[in-house]
């Protein structure tokens, strides 16, 4: 699938969403995003920030990077999927419960969603008889983005930096 000049929709524009946006732009994709809070600053200038419904309507690829909250629980349901372009690709590396799995399975089976890449599912660990496993157009990985040794070192380094900043009255990575 050619990515050049396609539209990447990013849900959740925190640090991971921003890195994903940069990678998409590197492939020549137009990047749009939806986030609970408008992002400002030069690092966001290449991203068009839109409403969630507009993101569904315009995106060729949707990548989810938001936290699981009452508002984001099953955010991707049948109604949301109906608004998406036919043949959209859906990626979820955030939290499984952001997607209604039954709605996803129906959309994968019908071809409404061309493919799904899932590093998370609603019920982890994945059950042996999970219907998603029967979808040939779904790639499911076992929530292992943290597995490489380098990622674990980075996690510890970031935690130590956050603690140091908090002690000095300058908290970072604050979740409101």
Catalytic residue status for 58? no
How far is 37 from 174, CA to CA, in rounded Å? Answer: 13
Torsion, Cα of 14, 20, 23, 25 (10° steps): -70
How far is 176 from 171, CA to CA, in rounded Å? Answer: 12
Catalytic residue status for 37? no
Of residues 124, 152, 154, 161, which has the active-site annotation?
124
Catalytic residue status for 95? yes
Other CB atoms within a 10 A radius of the CB of residue 119 amount to 17
- Residue 140 makes CB contacts below 8 A (sequence gap 6+) with 118, 119, 121, 126, 132, 133
- Alpha-carbon distance values, 172 to 90, 167, 168 (Å): 30, 11, 11
Q: Annotated catalytic sites, by residue?
A: 95, 124, 143
């Amino acid at each position: 699938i050619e990515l050049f000049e396609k539209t990447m929709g990013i849900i959740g524009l925190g640090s991971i969403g921003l890195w994903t946006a940069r990678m998409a732009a590197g492939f020549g994709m137009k990047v749009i995003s939806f986030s609970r809070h408008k992002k400002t600053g030069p690092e966001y200038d290449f991203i068009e920030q839109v409403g969630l419904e507009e993101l569904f309507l315009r995106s060729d690829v949707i990548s989810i990077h938001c936290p699981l909250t009452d508002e984001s629980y099953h955010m991707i349901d049948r109604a949301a999927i109906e608004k998406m372009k036919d043949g959209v690709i859906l990626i979820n590396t955030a939290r499984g419960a952001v997607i209604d799995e039954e709605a996803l399975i129906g959309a994968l089976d019908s071809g409404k969603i061309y493919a799904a890449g899932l590093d998370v599912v609603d019920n982890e660990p994945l059950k042996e008889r999970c219907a998603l496993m029967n979808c040939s157009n779904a790639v499911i990985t076992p929530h292992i983005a943290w597995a490489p040794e380098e990622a674990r070192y980075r996690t510890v380094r970031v935690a130590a930096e956050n603690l140091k900043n908090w002690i000095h009255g300058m908290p970072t990575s604050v979740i409101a």
